[in-house]
Amino acid sequence: MAIDSDSDMDDAGLRSKKSKGKAAEKKRDKGKAKETAETLAYTWEASYTRSWDTVQEDESGSLQGAVEDWVVRARRKRLLAPSAAIRRTIIRHLVLLLDLSSAMVDRDMRPTRFDLMLQYAREFIVEWFDQNPLGQIGVVGMRAGVGERICEMTGNPQDVLKSISERHRLEPQGEPSLQNAIEMARSSMSHLPTHSSREIVLIFGSLTTCDPGDIHDTLDTCVRQKIRVSVVALAAEMKICREFCDRTGGQFGVALNEGHFRDILFELVPPPAQRGGGGSGTVGGAGGAPSADLMMMGFPTRLPDTAPPSLCACHGELRSAGFLCPRCMSKVCDVPTDCDVCGMMIVSSPHLARSYHHLFPVRPYAAMGTADRGARVACYACARAFPTAPAGNTSEGMSPVGRYRCPECKCDFCSECDVFIHDVVHACPGCGR
Ligand SMILES: [Zn+2]
Ligand SMILES: [Zn+2]
Ligand SMILES: [Zn+2]
Ligand SMILES: [Zn+2]
């Protein structure tokens, strides 16, 4: 019971002011050795934390250690990810279900669950659209026993962000209704074609739900319509939530604390691997997976800002800038979208290219134990020289000589470039793969 002993220690620390500093220090040393999320107590068990204690300086007063911890975590996560190409859905449709019930005013997450949820939801939406430029998001709220449509399904991140930017319009109130909200989310996705994914991400702070009917019927319908439900619970595990995730192939997680909440929410950003692959594991491999079907897409013509103003098909407003549908030549304001007139999917080619990297990720680089004889003295990407003397103590997954090698082209990269290449560039500068 590591968690219990931790909280006992904290209690003792609170009671006597003198020993508080020591207790915190002990805990900090312990926490540094392992992953943060695993060793930290539940938020409701922990005593107050001083934010300046969570960032650690080393002996020389630099923040290198804290940065390294973060890098190691990202690297380890990457190594766990499957390196072979798998079939993923790149045209995604997601409904973000936000719990706006009175349980969200709880202060066990700072400042409140509600404020934290809004903040993370915003970050999630930005990151999600960055990684899934062909996707669309809708937002549904749950409060006062009903589901409330906050934002229609749209491919424009600004529209989604705007819909949840006004805090006072979303003020928590009443009981949540899981069934009503999921039915509403489901109905907004029922018209979607089969090649796109249908997902519901639920951020749920309540421990109750008041439903008008049998929620298991809703669950059955979700399974039938292949809607993937993932839940991020803020309080505790509820059986019905777990059942939704298990039966629809979604992910379930209970947030231990603020950082963990963010981690499990952001795990839902990359597109899910398609189910029922039959173990073939390759793109286009048949093996029980739905055979690859072709879909029609159009690349629009972009109108310059100086073009004569004309009415757009989506809002009916007079504007200069916009995109012309290549099939019916009607004008739309934003891509990606479905043409309002002829229904064709309009995407820009950079969007399509950016979605590609999920299918063929850059293979993780190996952390080198020692520098080889005759190896390059500088990072292949940024040309900064590698350290000549090996670092003393480095955590697992870090290279003591600061070199990370691409398994394909055998080029060495520095730690910063490694992270940048895998998280942002999505192509190895050495081999172009
Ligand atoms: Zn418009
Ligand atoms: Zn059209
Ligand atoms: Zn570099
Ligand atoms: Zn390479």
**Where are the domains positioned within the chain?**
1-51, 92-266, 297-346, 361-433
pLDDT tens for 143-186 read 999 999 999 988 888 889 999 998 899 999 999 999 999 999 99
Residues measured by CB to lie within 5 Å of ligand 2, the ion: 325, 327-328, 339, 341-342
CA of 332 to the centre of ligand 1 (A): 5
Give me the architecture of the 361-433 domain, per CATH.
2-Layer Sandwich (3.30)
What is the C-alpha separation between 417 and 195, in angstroms, rounded? 35
User: Could you tell me which residue, 186 or 415, shows the higher pLDDT?
Assistant: 186
Per-residue confidence at 422, pLDDT binned at 50, 70, 90?
A: confident
Strand-by-strand arrangement of the 197-204 sheet: 146-154, 136-143, 92-99, 197-204, 227-233, 252-254
> Which-ligand-closest: CA of 154?
1
Ligand 1: centre distance to CA 316 (Å): 6
249 and 262 in contact (C-beta within 8 Å)?
no
Identity at 80, one-letter amino acid code = L
What is residue 232's predicted lDDT score, i.e. its pLDDT? 95
* Average pLDDT over every residue of 24-52: 50
Q: Where are the alpha helices (DSSP H) in 50-192?
A: 51-54, 64-80, 113-131, 157-163, 178-187
**How far does residue 189's CA lie from ligand 1's centre (Å)?**
22
| Helix boundaries (H) for 135-285 | 157-163, 178-187, 215-224, 239-248, 258-266
pLDDT digits (tens, 9 = 90+) for 330-345: 999 888 888 889 988 8
| Residues 147 and 181: beta-carbon distance below 8 Å | yes
**Ligand nearest to the backbone CA of 365:** 4
Region 96-111: what's the mean pLDDT?
A: 92
And the tokens for 184?
């509403």
The angle at the Cα of 48, spanning 238 to 109, to the nearest 5 degrees, equals 35
Ligand positioned closest to the Cα atom of 419: 3
State the Cα–Cα distance between residues 101 and 296, nearest whole angstrom: 42
Question: What band does 45 get if pLDDT is binned at 50, 70 and 90?
Answer: low
Identify which has the larger pLDDT, 78 or 122.
Answer: 122
Residue 202 has pLDDT above 60, yes or no: yes
Q: From ligand 2's centre to the CA of 329, what distance in Å?
A: 6
Ligand found nearest the CA of 300: 2
CA pair distance 387, 391, nearest whole angstrom: 8
pLDDT at 48: 56
Q: What is the 133 CA–ligand 3 centroid distance (Å)?
A: 28
Say how many Å lie between the CA of residue 361 and the centre of ligand 3: 19
Structure tokens given for 130 = 């960055």
SS3 89: coil
What is 92-266's CATH topology? Rossmann fold (3.40.50)
> pLDDT-derived band of residue 271, with 50, 70 and 90 as boundaries?
confident
Closest ligand by atom to 344 CA: 2
Q: How far is the CA of 410 from the centre of ligand 4 (A)?
A: 6
pLDDT in tens, 349-363: 888 887 877 777 888
- How many A from CA of 343 to the centre of ligand 2? 6
What's residue 54's pLDDT? 57
| Residue 12 structure tokens | 């003792």
Tell me, yes or no, if the pTM score tops 0.75: no
Q: Which residue has the higher pLDDT, 292 or 104?
A: 104
Q: What is the pLDDT of residue 171?
A: 92
pLDDT of residue 61: 66
Ligand nearest to the CA of 413: 3
Q: What residue type is 232 in one-letter code?
A: V
- Annotate 225-257 with b (16+ C-beta within 10 A) or e (fewer): eebbbbbbbbbeebeebeebbeebbbbbbbbbb
